[in-house]
Chain A
């Protein structure tokens, strides 16, 4: 009997200590990541050259960011960026990470932050429609809701902070191709699946940009679909090289595709002859980026998740402070001049009927900065 009692007591102590140990964690998470971007603690900058002495983005509220799932390094950067700005502006930041990347778990998180009485929720949605009832309920209670990275439907948000404006990406990639090819020559696109919404929009955008006479000497030999699978992308890269041995540039607006193409060019010893650009993850592409002929990719792009978080934080504060309402056509200027066009943004109509703010042109990863970014994500 004594032993039983003892074991029960032991269990209780264990559980209790475990729980206490856990609960202690959030209060002490002052882990300051050494992020390579300049921290956005430019509070009263000359960015907004108004006479107003009070910072319109100063706040003492509580702001919640709900990411897609725990253990997602890309999401972690977004929430880091969000927290950075919120805390620099005087607010309190709450980060919720769902157990798994499902809508159900995000609803639980929404519930948690609503109970905490936050002023605003920023969410990277796991499902476009499934969060609508939960987010609407939050909005009914006066909480400002916006999405970043991955949108919720137009009914359940005030505004969406979009990392990837179709036009910006198309323009940037075309300029890169023009630059890398030296202004003329054959080039090819290695895309994801032929049905991929994002990639198709970007490719259509690129074709539109190409109408400009500046690009008239560039000849697109075709769009190849690697289905966002590594092996299929390798095969399609080989197909490009067979179809046109004179191809000068391959543009892969997909992280899987660009990595596969880089590997093929490396293995075939074509790194000096065929060049590569597109959208890629720095950590996966670090080995292939370089200015010399031993590397196939002189530079590539992707958006900067930290800046995305930074902008989302300013937008959240703006919504709470009434600086912005999220209506199309509104313009605003954030204190951080490294964002957008010297910090100024315009809210636009989004394709889904809601409104969105586009972060800006994608971020370039060059031989100079790839080393520090490859450690990040």
Chain B
């Protein structure tokens, strides 16, 4: 048994993991349906197409962060500086616009700031491999937020509503129904999904997440991949900043506070766990809509947000607990059988 076990265990693990994930997404779909049934029962205002599209607007700007966050978690790392990157990008968008820069250029500046922040995270992560990404991004989070606060103090910079197309990024609706942001999000999500599950890069991410050392020795450019993913995260922080600025018509250094936890939470609930090498992009996307619509439904019947936090927290604990519970049982059973 010992001789063969090496191969068989891997084969088994892969098989069981896959099964597990399939079940996790199924589970999410079931909750998703249940949530929708519940919502439509508690409020007769819930099932309305314009209402639902409006609701997606309020959580999709954060959802742009879950796209690269899936990648970050998949390779077994974490980036808690995303909220601060959003703040810094938004603040620089605001001050460059108010300094007379045309809005399109200000948007590019915001994206560039995001890329730079992400790049900085990535460079530190690959140059000092002994540092935990949590610690690195905790540091840069304070740094980015600090710079944003240094620039604007406790002020806000606004007046973005005067630029119609910019306002429409968040508030605009195609045909009066489908929000522009929704369409952009779906396009981005499809691209991320394809990259994660259908490309070599995606397969390599799973490999790196499962075992960095093994991935390195099998010829994968691990530092290059980490740098790319951190930079990509920065870019999408810029995207999120652009939408948030469009949403609020102004920018403030406290924009994006707590976004990192929301983004990570959505991924984890979706089954993209923080251990790395696990997860499915579809799961993360379902959980984005699951949490968003749950919040919307409860908001429609004016449930206090404290209770919503409890529900969200409970769901998250389920998300991380259930797979582990089953995994243990699964292996025990197998072991008993083979013995």
Contact = CB atoms under 8 A, between A and B. Distances in A.
Contacts of A94: 302
A15 B319 CA distance: 12
Contacts of A11: 27, 318, 322
Interface string B61-102: 000000000000000000000000000000000000000000
A170 B303 CA distance: 40
B180 to A, nearest CB: 14
A133 interface: yes
Contacts of A107: 58, 247-248
B303 A23 contact: yes
Interface in A52-109: 70-71, 94-100, 102-105, 107-109
Which applies to chain A's interface (DSSP): helix, strand, loop or mixed? Answer: helix
Given A23-B42, A98-B305, A104 B244 contact: yes
B187 interface: no
Contacts of B11: none
B23 interface: yes
B325 interface: yes
Contacts of A116: 43, 45, 300
Nearest to B20: A4
Contacts of B250: 127, 129-130, 132
Contact of A108 (B161, B299, B318): B299
Given A12-B31, A108-B295, A19 B38 contact: yes
A264 to B, nearest CB: 28
A115 B53 CA distance: 11
Contact of B30 (A12, A22, A104): A12
B38 A4 contact: no
A132 B249 contact: yes
Contacts of B306: 70-71, 97, 99
Contacts of B254: 102
Interface string A9-37: 00110111011101101110000000000
Given A18-B314, A127-B156, A7 B326 contact: yes
Contact of A129 (B48, B248, B302): B248
Interface in B294-325: 294-296, 298-309, 311, 314-315, 318, 322, 325
Contacts of B161: 132-133, 136
A137 interface: yes
Contacts of A26: 301-303
B302 A133 contact: no
A128 interface: yes
A12 B30 CA distance: 8
A111 B51 CA distance: 9
Nearest to A112: B299
A117 interface: yes
Given A4-B329, A22-B311, A130-B248, A114 B54 contact: yes
B34 interface: yes
A15 B306 CA distance: 16
Contact of B55 (A7, A22, A102, A115): A115
B274 interface: no
B156 A111 contact: no
Nearest to B58: A108
Nearest to B52: A115
B210 interface: no
Highest count of chain A CB atoms <10 Å: which of B156, B158, B250: B250
A38 interface: no
Given A133-B167, A133-B171, A96 B302 contact: yes
B102 to A, nearest CB: 20
Nearest to A99: B305
Contacts of A20: 38
Contacts of B301: 23, 26-27
A111 B249 CA distance: 16
A127 B158 CA distance: 11
B248 A103 contact: yes
A316 B248 CA distance: 24
Nearest to A15: B31
11 contacts: A4-B23, A8-B322, A11-B322, A15-B31, A71-B306, A108-B58, A111-B54, A111-B58, A129-B248, A130-B158, A132-B250
Interface of B: 23, 27, 30-31, 34-35, 38, 42-43, 45, 48, 51, 54-55, 57-59, 156, 158, 161, 167, 170-171, 244, 246-250, 252, 254-255, 257-258, 294-296, 298-309, 311, 314-315, 318, 322, 325-326, 329
